[in-house]
């Protein structure tokens, strides 16, 4: 089981804003990284270093962090944003990384 | 731009060793960090380990006793070996480049994020 907790599923109306959260003790010490994964594809980096976007990622994606919770916000969700989203963080107990269980985002 | 491609046997028998290779193209494997990640069907993503081109390795504690990762700079390849496999090791295996960064959050910290991923290769453990 994950040491990072995510809601299994979230839905959002087209064009609306959605927040996907990730909670865990490690997030009190390390930033979260967020990945988007579409069916049959490899994960794609969308947010790193808490709130940085790689080139090519739309600016509707943003990251934030408070206490032991990290959030990925999509402002004005598009149909192509429908995917699984995973948070990832360095573990505090040892030099390794853990992933959240993933959140399946449905765009209605 | 850097691209990664995993390769290796798709079927491995229980108790044997799973061996995968990741070929790096479009850039050098040198002076970087590389990771292996796996994802069983319908299950959570699991970080397997990290290897640097200087030979430093870090493994997931839950797999540490069975994992070996290495880098061959002459071939621009990294490899993963997982011994004594069982059905629980059936998964899609990915290699990814890990970018190092430092920051201060109360105290000095360092971390990595995976910015380039291979397409993954599905490995089934079955007799």
For residue A1, pLDDT over 70 is answered with no
Inter-chain residue contact A86 with B45, CB threshold 8 Å: yes
pLDDT at A2 (0 to 100): 54
Average pLDDT, integer, range B98-107 = 90
The answer to whether residues A73 and A81 touch, using CB atoms and an 8 Å cutoff, is no
Inter-chain residue contact B46 with A29, CB threshold 8 Å: no
Closest CA to B49 of B29, B31, B70, B32: B70
Q: Which of A49, A87, A96, A104 should one mutate to test binding to chain B, selecting the residue with the greatest count of B CBs within 10 A? A: A96
Cβ partners under 8 Å of residue B35, min gap 6 = B47, B48, B49, B50, B51, B95, B96, B97, B98, B112, B114
For residue B5, pLDDT over 90 is answered with yes
Round to whole Å and give the CA distance between A30 and A14.
Answer: 32
pLDDT at B19 (0 to 100): 98
Inter-chain residue contact B114 with A86, CB threshold 8 Å: no
**How far B53 CA sits from the closest chain A CA (Å)?**
18
pLDDT at A96 (0 to 100): 87
More confident residue, B122 or B105: B122
For residue A64, pLDDT over 90 is answered with yes
Round to whole Å and give the CA distance between B49 and B94.
Answer: 11
Inter-chain residue contact A43 with B94, CB threshold 8 Å: yes
Q: Which residues on B lie below 8 Å from A45 (Cβ)? A: 113-115
For residue A80, pLDDT over 70 is answered with yes
Round to whole Å and give the CA distance between A33 and A87.
Answer: 6
Average pLDDT, integer, range A57-75 = 97
Q: Which residues on B lie below 8 Å from A99 (Cβ)? A: 44-47
Percent of chain B with pLDDT over 70: 100
More confident residue, B14 or A3: B14
Average pLDDT, integer, range B96-117 = 92
Whether residue A58 lies within 8 A of chain B, CB to CB, comes out as: no
- Predicted confidence (pLDDT) per residue in A13-37, tens digit: 999 999 999 999 999 999 999 999 9
Inter-chain residue contact B113 with A33, CB threshold 8 Å: yes
Percent of chain B with pLDDT over 90: 82
Q: Which residues on A lie below 8 Å from B33 (Cβ)? A: none
pLDDT at A75 (0 to 100): 98
The alpha helices in A7-68, defined as continuous H runs, are none
Q: What does the block give as tokens for B70?
A: 């290495």
Round to whole Å and give the CA distance between B116 and A8.
Answer: 25
pLDDT at B31 (0 to 100): 77
- Predicted confidence (pLDDT) per residue in B25-81, tens digit: 999 899 789 999 999 988 889 999 999 998 899 999 999 999 999 999 999 999 999
Q: Strands (DSSP E) along chain A, which ranges?
A: 5-6, 9-12, 18-23, 33-37, 44-47, 61-66, 69-74, 83-90, 97-99, 103-107
């Amino acid at each position: 089981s994950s040491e990072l907790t995510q809601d299994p599923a979230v839905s959002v109306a087209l064009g609306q804003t959605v927040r996907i959260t990730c909670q865990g003790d490690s997030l009190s010490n390390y930033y979260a990284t967020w990945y988007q994964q579409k069916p049959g594809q490899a994960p794609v980096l969308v947010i790193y270093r808490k709130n940085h976007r790689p080139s090519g990622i739309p600016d509707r994606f943003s990251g934030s962090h408070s206490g032991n919770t990290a959030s990925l916000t999509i402002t004005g969700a598009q149909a192509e944003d429908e995917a699984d989203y995973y948070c990832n963080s360095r573990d505090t107990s040892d030099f390794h990384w853990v992933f959240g269980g993933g959140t399946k985002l449905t765009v209605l | 731009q850097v691209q990664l491609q995993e390769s290796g046997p798709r079927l491995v028998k229980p108790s044997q060793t799973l061996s995968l290779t990741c070929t790096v193209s479009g850039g050098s494997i040198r002076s970087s960090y590389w990771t292996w990640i796996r994802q069983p069907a319908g299950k959570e993503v699991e970080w397997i380990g990290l290897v640097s081109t200087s030979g430093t390795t870090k493994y997931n504690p839950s797999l540490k006793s069975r994992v070996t990762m290495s880098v061959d700079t002459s071939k621009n390849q990294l490899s993963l070996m997982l011994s004594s496999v069982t059905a629980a090791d059936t998964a899609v295996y990915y290699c990814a480049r890990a970018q190092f960064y430092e920051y201060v959050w109360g105290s000095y910290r360092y971390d990595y994020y995976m910015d380039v991923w291979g397409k993954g290769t599905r490995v089934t453990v079955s007799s």
